[in-house]
A and B are shown apart, each in its own frame.
Chain A
Amino acid sequence: MKNNRLTPYLFLAPFLLAFSLFFILPVLYSVYLSFLTRVRNGFAPPTEVFGGFANYARVFTDGDFLASFFNIFLFGAIQVPLMLIFATAFALIIDETQGWLSKVFRTAIYIPYTIPGVIAGLLWGFLYSRNLSPLNYLLSNNGGTPVNFLDSSLLLFSIGNIVTWTWTGYNSVTLYANLQNVSRELYEAAAIDGATGWNVVRYIKLPLLRPALMLTLIFSVIGTAQIFSEPFVLRGIGFVPVNITPNTYIYQIASQDANYSYAAALAVVLALVTFAFSAFFLRYVNRSQSV
């Protein structure tokens, strides 16, 4: 019976190697890059020199970037709660009902999750477009004015609709899976105590869903901070500001301006803010569970 000390490390090696190369190293590299500053040299190509916190100072005075943050805060404050309310309601409905409609419902609301964000954005983009939208067709045939779904006042809602469409069913089914773990005794005890319908939902199901709901909330917050594909493909049908979300702005800085050091600083700030938010919610979950 051999017990080689090296064995566990050999099992770890493939994961750790990939993890270091494509997770840790990029993070360290972009932190390093973010401390460089681009210097112009007359007609010669610009060079990168150590610039301390210059990029970070710029991040916090960059009106375009701050505006993109404001956008996703607004988005997160409206879309996320709305989506989770619907997801919870649908989960409860699936749990309360039976029969073919219930089965079809459970399956169909999950389908959008299997559709890539960029394809969902593309399809909704058609439904939003001035000429193709069936809604606009109905409106203009009945004397109304077509809606411009990409108007600056509507754009965030239009994106929010795509995200809600994609993720509500996924979250519902997740929450529903949690409801399945409720033991039958609990319901029987409740029935003996005379609890019916709404009371069971209010005093048994919702409290039991709470931890799962918090986890869903955290993933939704992380997801919100990352929105990219949907606004990116909507540019195909109309004007979408480059700083509609932090990610589209960072992409612009990197791809159009080729200012990698500044883009790296922006990415670091975005990651830190998201991390802080999810850590905050996670803490809240742990506290509320121990009470």
Chain B
Amino acid sequence: MTQEPMTLPVAVTRPVKPAVKRNSPWLAVVMVLALMYFLLPLYWVLVSITKDNSQLNTTFGLWFAQPWHLWENIVQLGTQDGGIFYRWMLNSFFYSFSSGALATMSAAMAGYAFSKFNFAGRGWIFSVILGTIMVPSTALTLPIFLLINNIGLANTPWAVILPQMVNPFGLYLMRVFWDNGFPTELIEAAKIDGASDWRIFWSMGLPLVRGGLITVFLFTFVAAWNNFFLPLVVLNNNEQFPLTLGLSVWNNTNTGRTPQYTMIILGALVSILPLLTAFFTLGRYWQGGLTTGATKG
């Protein structure tokens, strides 16, 4: 699924947990069983990348086989089709970073406008944008393709980057951060000191809503990194593919050559490492984005 639900981070004061904690053996059993289910495919990946195709077919999938072929798979992943895998990885980084940066900046600016200015059309423009949060993004993919095709942007990086920078929920999130994180009195004081609107926004405001910026960036980045449908329809040239699209092409048996499965599995693992790393290092921001606004309506 490509819908990336982001929910509203409220300024949470972590409440002290109640003292009552239970560690019943039944709960431990449930957790272990669930862990096995959730980690099974990843464990299988770690086993499979040490095999070659024939071992993959003939040996038990959940245990290692001799001899190991891990190094061969690593070498092949780097050299297959002229080393295009790392090109795809670079593309994925470039697309996701660009979409994320543009989404964050535009949402921060627009959120600032809605939060700190009164202007004609403020109410209805915000309502229209909010209303579109419920529009499924893949329902837009085909229309975007038709449009992009028409204006000659197909097969350019813009075709992937620009549609993904539109993040209505990001705007909503930033507005909440501006409302709560940047007091209007500060703006007035700065104006008396003669600071320009841009300077107030850029130098004073942005550092105060850093949490919102990182959250919007992360979620846009992940959505773009994981996106498959959009690049599938707007890109033709495999030099421009992101990882998701490239790997699925490699895995396709209809191309006439036998896919080198264990290398593809290694590629799949490499392709999820960046997000895993981000998840473990930026954990608190993910949590921030997860604290839902549902309790506030």
Please pick, from A114, A260, A286, the residue contacting B276 in the complex, using a CB distance under 8 A: A114
Q: Which one of B79-87, B206-214, B288-296 is at the A interface?
A: B288-296
The secondary-structure label for the interface of chain A is: helix
Given A15-B106, A163-B1, A228-B138: A178 and B35 interface contact (C-beta under 8 Å): no
Q: Which one of A43-51, A58-66, A102-110, A142-150 is at the B interface?
A: A102-110
How many angstroms between the C-alpha atoms of A151 and B123 in the bound complex? 52
Determine whether B186 belongs to the interface, using a CB cutoff of 8 Å to chain A: no
How many angstroms between the C-alpha atoms of A233 and B286 in the bound complex? 28
Please pick, from A105, A117, A236, the residue contacting B35 in the complex, using a CB distance under 8 A: A105
Tell me whether B110 and A15 are in contact (CB under 8 A): yes
Task: With both chains docked as a complex, state the minimum distance between the C-beta of B272 and any C-beta of chain A, in angstroms.
Answer: 5
Given A97-B23, A97-B31, A180-B14: A228 and B2 interface contact (C-beta under 8 Å): yes
Tell me whether B2 and A117 are in contact (CB under 8 A): yes
Given A114-B222, A215-B294: A18 and B165 interface contact (C-beta under 8 Å): yes
B107 CB contacts on chain A under 8 angstroms? 15
Task: With both chains docked as a complex, state the minimum distance between the C-beta of B141 and any C-beta of chain A, in angstroms.
Answer: 8
Determine whether A40 belongs to the interface, using a CB cutoff of 8 Å to chain B: no
Question: Closest chain B residue to A261 by CB distance?
Answer: B146
Given A15-B109, A111-B42, A263-B142: A131 and B3 interface contact (C-beta under 8 Å): no
How many angstroms between the C-alpha atoms of A245 and B5 in the bound complex? 20
Determine whether B252 belongs to the interface, using a CB cutoff of 8 Å to chain A: yes
How many angstroms between the C-alpha atoms of A255 and B140 in the bound complex? 15
Please pick, from A230, A236, A271, A275, the residue contacting B251 in the complex, using a CB distance under 8 A: A236
Tell me whether A127 and B106 are in contact (CB under 8 A): no
Q: How many A-B residue pairs have CB under 8 A?
A: 319
Given A118-B248, A119-B271, A132-B61: A177 and B3 interface contact (C-beta under 8 Å): no
Determine whether A229 belongs to the interface, using a CB cutoff of 8 Å to chain B: yes
Tell me whether B2 and A16 are in contact (CB under 8 A): no
Tell me whether A119 and B233 are in contact (CB under 8 A): no
A165 CB contacts on chain B under 8 angstroms? 37-38, 41
B143 CB contacts on chain A under 8 angstroms? 26-27, 29-30, 264, 267
Determine whether A56 belongs to the interface, using a CB cutoff of 8 Å to chain B: no
Interface residues on B, range: 35 or more
Task: With both chains docked as a complex, state the minimum distance between the C-beta of B38 and any C-beta of chain A, in angstroms.
Answer: 5
Determine whether B225 belongs to the interface, using a CB cutoff of 8 Å to chain A: yes
Tell me whether B35 and A104 are in contact (CB under 8 A): yes
Task: With both chains docked as a complex, state the minimum distance between the C-beta of A234 and any C-beta of chain B, in angstroms.
Answer: 10
Determine whether A155 belongs to the interface, using a CB cutoff of 8 Å to chain B: no
Given A101-B28, A222-B134: A177 and B2 interface contact (C-beta under 8 Å): no
Tell me whether A174 and B57 are in contact (CB under 8 A): no
Determine whether B67 belongs to the interface, using a CB cutoff of 8 Å to chain A: no
Question: Closest chain A residue to B291 by CB distance?
Answer: A177
How many angstroms between the C-alpha atoms of A33 and B227 in the bound complex? 25
Given A5-B119, A18-B162, A163-B1: A222 and B21 interface contact (C-beta under 8 Å): no
Determine whether A184 belongs to the interface, using a CB cutoff of 8 Å to chain B: yes
Residues 253-291 (chain A) with a chain B CB within 8 angstroms: 254-255, 260, 263-264, 267, 270-271, 274-275, 278-279, 282, 285-286, 289
Tell me whether B279 and A110 are in contact (CB under 8 A): yes
Tell me whether B292 and A177 are in contact (CB under 8 A): yes
Tell me whether A226 and B138 are in contact (CB under 8 A): yes
Q: List 16 A-B contacts (CB under 8 A).
A: A9-B113, A15-B110, A16-B110, A25-B147, A26-B144, A97-B22, A97-B28, A118-B248, A126-B48, A180-B15, A224-B1, A233-B248, A267-B142, A274-B134, A282-B134, A289-B297
Beyond A22-B165, A26-B144, A232-B228, 10 extra complex contacts between A and B, CB < 8 Å? A11-B112, A26-B147, A27-B143, A116-B243, A174-B7, A178-B292, A178-B294, A180-B12, A223-B2, A229-B228
The 10 A-B residue pairs with the shortest CB-CB distance in the complex, in nearest-first order? A134-B61, A26-B143, A15-B110, A8-B117, A30-B143, A219-B5, A271-B139, A11-B113, A116-B226, A187-B18
